[in-house]
Amino acid sequence: MTHSNVLSAIGYTWEALGLVWLAGLAFTKRTVRRQPTGARLFHLVLALLGFCLIGSNWFASGWLATRFLPASSEVELAGLVVTIAGCAFAVWARLTLGGNWSAQATVKEGHELVTTGPYALTRHPIYTGLVTAAVGAVAAVGEVRSILGLVLIVLAFTIKMSQEEMLMMQTFPEAYPRYRQRVKALVPGLL
């Protein structure tokens, strides 16, 4: 598989994930509380810039295009596999969350604390999957711009996670602290 084919396959993987997200919008519950608009816009801009740094050629020039990994079809294929695995994990989490999901930190009408499936492994498995997929894409791209993009994505998700954690603590004041003690935020057993 050529470098171009690997990058195309990674792009198709992200597009498939986007289609699952769009289809899921039809099944979300009505929002009753949400994060502040300023925080929402800030993490959204960071994440968008991060994904553009990794996945578009807009920034593929100058020092941003400097390779940090040697060009290797094995590394690129490994990046593709990691991207697919990360997106699949995120989709599993999205489907498990069901109608409680939202693109922003919210509390839904009749919100349930989901602790099964991937939520038994991490409290934020969608972010775990998306960051894993981004790491795979970074390995396949192999340029400095992609590392910078990954840093911005992690920062964006950290901001959003803090908003979600606050809302869940308010909504489930007894159950959520116990869940937090039992299950790590992003990496099972570590973080």
Q: What is the pLDDT of residue 69?
A: 80
- Residue 73: other Cβ atoms inside 10 A: 12
In a domain, residue 107? The reply is: yes
Q: What is the pLDDT of residue 4?
A: 82
pLDDT tens-digit profile of 26-57? 889 999 988 888 888 998 999 999 999 998 88
3-state SS of the chain? CCHHHHHHHHHHHHHHHHHHHHHHHHHCCCEEEECCHHHHHHHHHHHHHHHHHHHCCCCCCHHHHCECCCCCHHHHHHHHHHHHHHHHHHHHHHHHHHHHCCCCCEEECCCCCCCCHHHHCCCCHHHHHHHHHHHHHHHHHCEHHHHHHHHHHHHHHHHHHHHHHHHHHHHCCCHHHHHHHHCCCCCCCCC
- pTM, 2 dp: 0.93
Q: What is the pLDDT of residue 162?
A: 93
67 strand-pairing partners = 143
Cα–Cα distance measured from residue 142 to residue 69, given in angstroms and rounded to the nearest whole number: 5
In whole numbers, what is the pLDDT of the chain averaged over residues? 92
In a domain, residue 42? The reply is: yes
User: What's the CATH code of the domain at 100?
Assistant: 1.20.120.1630
In a domain, residue 173? The reply is: yes
> Is residue 188 very low, low, confident or very high in pLDDT (cuts 50, 70, 90)?
confident
Which residues span the domain enclosing 138?
3-17+34-182
In a domain, residue 188? The reply is: no
178 pLDDT more than 80: yes
Q: Per-residue pLDDT averaged across 13-22, rounded? A: 93
Q: What is the pLDDT of residue 123?
A: 97
Q: What is the pLDDT of residue 85?
A: 98
In a domain, residue 134? The reply is: yes
In a domain, residue 159? The reply is: yes
64 pLDDT more than 90: no
Percent of the residues in the chain that have a pLDDT greater than 70, as a whole number: 100
In a domain, residue 75? The reply is: yes
Q: For the chain, what is the domain count?
A: 1
In a domain, residue 81? The reply is: yes
> Is residue 165 very low, low, confident or very high in pLDDT (cuts 50, 70, 90)?
very high
pLDDT tens-digit profile of 91-130? 999 999 999 998 889 999 999 999 999 999 999 999 999 9
